[in-house]
Amino acid sequence: MHKRRVVVTGYGAVTPIGIGVNNYWNALVNGQNGVDLITKFDASNFDTKFAAEVKNFNPSDYFEKKSIKRTDPFTQYALVSAQEAIECSNINLDKVDKERFGVIFGSGIGGMEALQSEHFKYFQYKNPGQISPFFIPMMIADLAAGQISIKYGLKGPNYATTSACATASHAIADAFMIIQRGSADVMICGGSEAAIAEMSIGGFNAMKALSTWNDRYKEASRPFDKDRNGFVMGEGAGTLILEELNHAKNRGANILAELAGIGLTADAYHITAPAPGGEGAVRSMKIAIEDAGLSVNDINHINAHGTSTPYNDVNETIAIKTLFGDHAYKIVVNSTKSMTGHLLGAAGGIEAIATILAIQNQLVPPTINLTNPDPECDLNYSPLKPTPLNIYAAISNTFGFGGHNASLLFKKFEE
């Protein structure tokens, strides 16, 4: 059966290093560090006192006062990034068939801020009458997808994915499959997260997952570095517009890249630790390459999951070497999390955008803070400065707690 081809015609980003795709890309290329002390709550009692917050995001620049009170920040980030993606795509919403235009938009956690504040309110007053009628729609993880669909009147497939750090990549993969099978022509997809809150930081601290370098927080997100000691939490949203190729061409769309293959696997091993040797990651990358009809030698850039945790970075490196063999040393790998922190359910969204931009600009952003390389991590990670590279096809990896692996393969668009 002839597969329908799927292309990217729009993107939008809200990140700790810039709001808007241009600001985000300029910050990536310049090695800008998005990590700072937490301002969203008093973190003085916490083992980790820093994170990568979105800066200069004023909801009143985008929303009416009433709707700000009725939406959690994760939904606000999603709506702002979706709006940029739609504007970027130049799609005429009055002319498109909205019954064939869908939304799959995920969040790893959903409305953590809403959950906390309403929970605190109840325990302060011991009165269920104090709970907001908007609490549930602010909290549940599918409401970003729902709100985007309502705002633009999009009536195609509409739901959320939740698979921890692989959430946004799964949303993009699902959207890809829905277009391929002919159930939609256009999809908005991605992920959003706003989990820099007491319960999240406290919870990740309890499981010893976060870096605790409070005296050196600017250096704390250091993927593939020997001194790494945990990830740094980030927040934000990343959105792609995927479109069936002929639909895009017929409306004269500017095609940014082609999403040519996806690989989805499970470790079936442990709730938080990756499978030994990155076995699940090997298979997800391999499946994505086969799905795209390419060979391992066609890939020369990987936007790594690269979390700056002791386990992930070694396992991902082993996985790349296992699959690519000697060619692994010709691949430029990088971790944009060194700058943005780890956006959990939104990571795959902003990292897919970074991968597409790397292809467009033929430039791999740096992995910052990589000053003391781990001898077990011996690939080219574009350390400290960007690497010019002739990129034809690239993979974006995301791996989530629960053993969820997703690899997205983007390539330069050719007729």
| 149 exposure class (CB count in 10 Å sphere: 0-12, 13-18, 19+) | buried
- The per-residue b/e assignment along 310-346, b for 16 or more CB within 10 angstroms, e otherwise, is eebbbbbbbbbbbbbeebbeebbbbbbbbbbbbbbbb
Q: What is the distance between the alpha carbons of residues 95 and 25, in angstroms, rounded to a whole number?
A: 31
Identify whether 342 is a catalytic site residue: yes
pTM value is 0.98
Position 232 pLDDT exceeds 70: yes
Average pLDDT for 55-68:
97
Q: For the CA atoms of 42, 46, 48, 54, what is the dihedral angle to 10 degrees?
A: -30
Instruction: Dihedral sign for Cα 308, 309, 310, 315, please.
Output: negative
Own/partner contacts of 33-42, CB < 8 Å, gap of 24 or more, are 33/218, 33/339, 33/368, 34/234, 34/339, 34/340, 34/341, 35/217, 35/218, 35/220, 35/221, 35/232, 35/341, 36/217, 36/218, 37/217, 38/196, 38/201, 40/196, 40/197, 41/197, 41/198
Phi, psi of 407 (to 5 degrees): -125, 125
Closest C-alpha among 319, 386, 394, 333 to residue 360: 394
Give the domain 262-411 fold.
Peroxisomal Thiolase; Chain A, domain 1 (3.40.47)
Closest C-alpha among 223, 44, 75 to residue 139: 75
CB 80, CB 151: distance < 8 Å: no
Q: Are strands 50-51 and 257-266 parallel, antiparallel or unpaired?
A: unpaired
Strand-pairing partners, residue 190, are 105, 239
Position 222 pLDDT exceeds 70: yes
HSE at residue 12, side-chain half, CA atoms within 13 A, is 25
Position 392 pLDDT exceeds 60: yes
Phi, psi of 263 (to 5 degrees): -135, 120
Question: Which of these is catalytic: 170, 247, 342, 404?
Answer: 342
* CATH number of the domain located at residue range(s) 6-250 in this protein: 3.40.47.10
* Crossing angle of helices 21-29 and 347-361, rounded to 10°: 70
Q: What is the distance between the alpha carbons of residues 393 and 375, in angstroms, rounded to a whole number?
A: 27
CB 40, CB 196: distance < 8 Å: yes
pLDDT at 1: 54
Per the prediction, the chain carries an average pLDDT of 97
Question: Which of these is catalytic: 170, 247, 301, 305?
Answer: 305
Closest C-alpha among 88, 36, 29 to residue 354: 29
Average pLDDT for 99-123:
96
Kindly state the tokens that stand for 254: 């500017």
pLDDT at 3: 84
Average pLDDT for 128-142:
95
Q: What is the distance between the alpha carbons of residues 83 and 401, in angstroms, rounded to a whole number?
A: 30
263-314 pLDDT per residue, tens: 999 999 999 999 999 999 999 999 999 999 999 999 999 999 999 999 999 9
pLDDT at 163: 98
Residue extents of the structural domains in the chain:
6-250, 262-411
Choice among 1-5, 142-146, 216-220 with the minimum mean pLDDT: 1-5
pLDDT at 14: 98
Strand-pairing partners, residue 10, are 241
Domain 6-250 and domain 262-411 have a common topology: yes
How far from 366 is each of 4, 236, 400, CA to CA, in Å? 34, 20, 23
Average pLDDT for 16-29:
98
Closest C-alpha among 4, 74, 363 to residue 239: 74
Question: Which of these is catalytic: 165, 301, 377, 404?
Answer: 165
Position 103 pLDDT exceeds 80: yes
Which amino acid appears at position 128 of this protein? P
Q: What is the distance between the alpha carbons of residues 333 and 134, in angstroms, rounded to a whole number?
A: 43
Q: Give the DSSP H/E element, type plus range, for residue 137.
A: helix 135-139
Which amino acid appears at position 185 of this protein? D
